[in-house]
Structure 1
Amino acid sequence: MANNSIFCGKKISIIGLGLIGGSLAKAFRRMGICDITGINRNMASVEQAISEGTISRGFNELNSYVYESDIIFICTPVKMAIEYLDIISEKVSRECIITDVGSTKAEIAEHIDSMPNPPAFIGGHPMAGTEKTGYAASFPHLFENAYYVLSPAKSTNDRCIGTMAELVKSIGAIPVLMDAKEHDRVTGTISHVPHVIASALVNMVKKYDSADCKMQMLAAGGFRDITRIASSSPEMWENIVSSNKEQIGKIIEQYIDILNSFKLSMDKGNRESVYGFFEDAKIYRDSFSSVKRIPSPADGLINPIFDIIVDVVDEPGIIGEIATILGSNKVNIKNINVSNNREFEQGCLKITLPDSKSVNISFDLLAEKGYKVYKSN
């Protein structure tokens, strides 16, 4: 991790002590920041954070402790973050850096740019998370080896960018500087629209399934793999879609064009075009990783993924330790990689295995050793 001595005397406030806000507070406390103020509408989370020594003090509304901060993190949905920005922007010093952690960046950047006297703001998006929510689910190493996007507004100066980049590195994350609109276009394509598509696939099966639920019963590996993300929070995704509807709308139109083009080739019996559709996708998808799965007749049309996810602290020897546990028990590891974008996944170490038996054995072995282990489903 980066040298964090420059932050030890800083006053930090965190508005919203959920999974992200709580994990930030724990990460900052672990790196030696002693003055942390927490704001949360649910006082139970505030009281828990105080009792654990995570924050120095906590309240259910804004006050002078927040306004006197050096850095303020707004860890709420975008609409609420904008409301907080309007309240605090005139009450903090010009040196105070304000940032957020929302999954979309353009809306809040445009709001900042429209302000007559904007604060020192830089948008933030830590691409890490789990399927669980709330302060109780937070942990200090959530951000280790995760990408952390920083999106400047027009008023953002070099000091803000430099300070936030160093702070992000201090908690083990990887800062990535990206324009707000570009961020929303990228995340709209690789994250937001895939969630819409996954939900649409599930709703399609729900609509066309028989009364005895044959489709649901037979929806095995492949279907589960590509629709897993449809189990995410509806409230969260309604907020994300509302905030990024312009980009999502454009991308959905492009996706519909691709489907229509494929359907036309299929209807015309253009086998070369249909083959090219799948070939192009395969070549590009295979380039994501050096590991290419060998299809098995039992896999069906979509190969099942035999992965486990392990929640680990970034420390020397941890990967070797896990590999030794599995290897000594004759488990064949196909691939190990650190997930840098795990916003809607739990854990950061992804281990690919050859079959479901190996998944079950590995899960039991690592769980017995005290690791938090999750199966891809």
Structure 2
Amino acid sequence: MVESISIIGLGLIGGSLAKALRQKRPGLKLFAIDSSTSSLRLAEQEGVIDRGYAEGCSDIYNSDVIFICTPVRKAIDYISGLSGKIKKTCILTDVASTKSEICQYVEGLSNPPVFVGGHPMAGTEKSGYSNSFAHLFENAYYVLTPANTSDTRALAVMKDILKDIGAIPIVVTAGQHDLVTGCISHVPHVIASALVKLAIQKENSEGLVKLLAAGGFKDITRIASSNPTMWENIVLSNSDIVVPLLKDYIKIIEIFIQQISLSDNRAIHDFFNSAKLFRDSFASGTPGLIPLSFELLVDVLDEPGIIGSIATLLGASGINIKNMNVSNSREFEQGCLRITLSDQFNTDKAYDILTENSYRVFKKD
């Protein structure tokens, strides 16, 4: 029986978790710790949490489950402070992007708590409680990495909670998690930032790079806009995985440079073709480690009132439009009007409405 849950860190993940739990388990006692008094008071006013605190107290220590929703290094600090204060049956969990370091820390404590590592495969580039929403975890994988202090009861409780908020729990080892996330999340964030730094180096006095850096370039570097402090924590925490992976990536680039230098057409074609085939096998629209971009591209004529007409059509149907603009640099893109939506539901609904009204609409893969 889980009667009370505490959330430490009421940002995007913690806030969304609190909102989802309040919606799915309305009778639950929900408490939170955060450094932002305004976020705590807002969450209280909205009825999302019962009480918010600046530090640990009896409500927190007596909780049945505690979610630590902070970067990994800060999460370790909280575990250190909670150890010995929480009740023995309390399940401690986290949402950090790396798992080995935190699991090893817990296992090394003299009196370790019941701990189940966690990492939701969901998020956005935005941060803070004001950007949180209850359906963030719906149909998203949520990885659980049990520590040596976990038991079958703790794992069962965590799975039940996650299923209640619409997530899909997956159980793997901490090492497996860190290798996979290093490959498909951590290294891509490094590469995206490196591409932007390359663009900075090649920018001219007329600002031509920034002017034309839209379309595909903006898409593949979108994740470079993520929180730099968080990514500093992640790459340092997972350095044993990230560094070898970056070296492997450099080897791939070095070989490709040789193939170009030798005009090896077959090898160059195979380079692109093998990547295309593997990438095309990915499930479409599935939440993953890198946040989805909810966008539609509409092929429209440049005529007066066309943007207003589309905005009115979607607005009348209750579609939540985050942004709408003409894409002036759209190499490899179909359609010139880019519409950014809030979530998958609004994206699918907008696509159907525009298609029914004879617009040519394209979803981003």
Determine the structure 2 residue equivalent to 1:280.
Answer: 274
Unmatched 5+ residue regions in structure 1?
1-5, 290-336
Give the TM-score normalised by the residue count of structure 1: 0.79
Please state if 1:106 is matched with 2:117.
no
Deviation at 1:362, TM superposition (A): 6.6
Q: Distance in 2 between matches of 1:217 and 1:351?
A: 21
Determine the structure 1 residue equivalent to 2:5.
Answer: 12
Please state if 1:67 is matched with 2:61.
yes
Of residues 192, 206, 217, the one that matches 1:212 is 206
Kindly provide the amino acid, as one letter, of the partner of residue 262 in structure 1. Answer: F
Question: Is the contact between residue 8 and residue 14 of structure 2 (CA under 8 Å) also seen in structure 1?
Answer: yes
Kindly provide the amino acid, as one letter, of the partner of residue 247 in structure 1. Answer: I
Deviation at 1:259, TM superposition (A): 0.3
Question: Is the contact between residue 125 and residue 223 of structure 2 (CA under 8 Å) also seen in structure 1?
Answer: no
Q: Structure 1 residues 249 and 287 mapped into 2: Cα distance closer, same or farther (>3 Å)?
A: same
Determine the structure 2 residue equivalent to 1:116.
Answer: 110
Question: Is the contact between residue 184 and residue 289 of structure 2 (CA under 8 Å) also seen in structure 1?
Answer: no
Q: SS in structure 2 opposite 1:239?
A: helix
Q: Distance in 2 between matches of 1:351 and 1:133?
A: 20
Q: SS in structure 2 opposite 1:224?
A: helix
Determine the structure 2 residue equivalent to 1:151.
Answer: 145
Percent identity of equivalent pairs: 46
Question: Is the contact between residue 150 and residue 175 of structure 1 (CA under 8 Å) also seen in structure 2?
Answer: yes
Please state if 1:369 is matched with 2:362.
no
| Correspondence list, 1:179-198, <5 A | 179-198=173-192
Kindly provide the amino acid, as one letter, of the partner of residue 4 in structure 2. Answer: K
Deviation at 1:366, TM superposition (A): 3.4
Determine the structure 2 residue equivalent to 1:89.
Answer: 83
| Correspondence list, 1:256-335, <5 A | 256-289=250-283
Question: Is the contact between residue 19 and residue 135 of structure 1 (CA under 8 Å) also seen in structure 2?
Answer: yes
Kindly provide the amino acid, as one letter, of the partner of residue 260 in structure 2. Answer: M
Of residues 12, 29, 32, the one that matches 1:38 is 32
Deviation at 1:25, TM superposition (A): 1.0
Q: Distance in 2 between matches of 1:57 and 1:180?
A: 33
Question: Is the contact between residue 14 and residue 72 of structure 1 (CA under 8 Å) also seen in structure 2?
Answer: yes
Of residues 211, 221, 229, the one that matches 1:227 is 221
Deviation at 1:232, TM superposition (A): 1.4
Q: SS in structure 1 opposite 2:49?
A: coil
Please state if 1:24 is matched with 2:41.
no
Deviation at 1:89, TM superposition (A): 1.6
Please state if 1:341 is matched with 2:288.
yes
Q: SS in structure 1 opposite 2:221?
A: helix
Q: Distance in 2 between matches of 1:11 and 1:220?
A: 47
Q: Distance in 2 between matches of 1:189 and 1:342?
A: 11
Q: Distance in 1 between matches of 2:19 and 2:59?
A: 19
Question: Is the contact between residue 39 and residue 62 of structure 1 (CA under 8 Å) also seen in structure 2?
Answer: yes
Q: Distance in 2 between matches of 1:146 and 1:38?
A: 23
Determine the structure 2 residue equivalent to 1:316.
Answer: none
Kindly provide the amino acid, as one letter, of the partner of residue 29 in structure 1. Answer: R
Q: Distance in 2 between matches of 1:182 and 1:33?
A: 36
Determine the structure 2 residue equivalent to 1:306.
Answer: none
Determine the structure 1 residue equivalent to 2:343.
Answer: none
Q: Structure 1 residues 91 and 234 mapped into 2: Cα distance closer, same or farther (>3 Å)?
A: same
Q: Distance in 1 between matches of 2:201 and 2:234?
A: 25
Question: Is the contact between residue 106 and residue 184 of structure 1 (CA under 8 Å) also seen in structure 2?
Answer: yes
Q: Structure 1 residues 122 and 224 mapped into 2: Cα distance closer, same or farther (>3 Å)?
A: same
Q: Distance in 2 between matches of 1:139 and 1:82?
A: 26
Q: Structure 1 residues 97 and 373 mapped into 2: Cα distance closer, same or farther (>3 Å)?
A: same
Please state if 1:200 is matched with 2:147.
no
Give the TM-score normalised by the residue count of structure 2: 0.82
Q: Deviations over 1:262-316 (max 9, x none)?
A: 1111112222111111111111112225xxxxxxxxxxxxxxxxxxxxxxxxxxx
Q: Distance in 1 between matches of 2:190 and 2:312?
A: 34
Q: Distance in 2 between matches of 1:167 and 1:44?
A: 27
Q: Structure 1 residues 25 and 198 mapped into 2: Cα distance closer, same or farther (>3 Å)?
A: same
Q: Distance in 1 between matches of 2:102 and 2:92?
A: 12
Q: Structure 1 residues 89 and 362 mapped into 2: Cα distance closer, same or farther (>3 Å)?
A: farther
Q: SS in structure 1 opposite 2:251?
A: helix
Deviation at 1:162, TM superposition (A): 0.9
Deviation at 1:63, TM superposition (A): 0.8
Determine the structure 1 residue equivalent to 2:328.
Answer: none
Q: Distance in 1 between matches of 2:230 and 2:147?
A: 24
Question: Is the contact between residue 13 and residue 69 of structure 1 (CA under 8 Å) also seen in structure 2?
Answer: yes
Q: SS in structure 1 opposite 2:204?
A: coil
Deviation at 1:351, TM superposition (A): 6.7
Question: Is the contact between residue 145 and residue 338 of structure 1 (CA under 8 Å) also seen in structure 2?
Answer: no
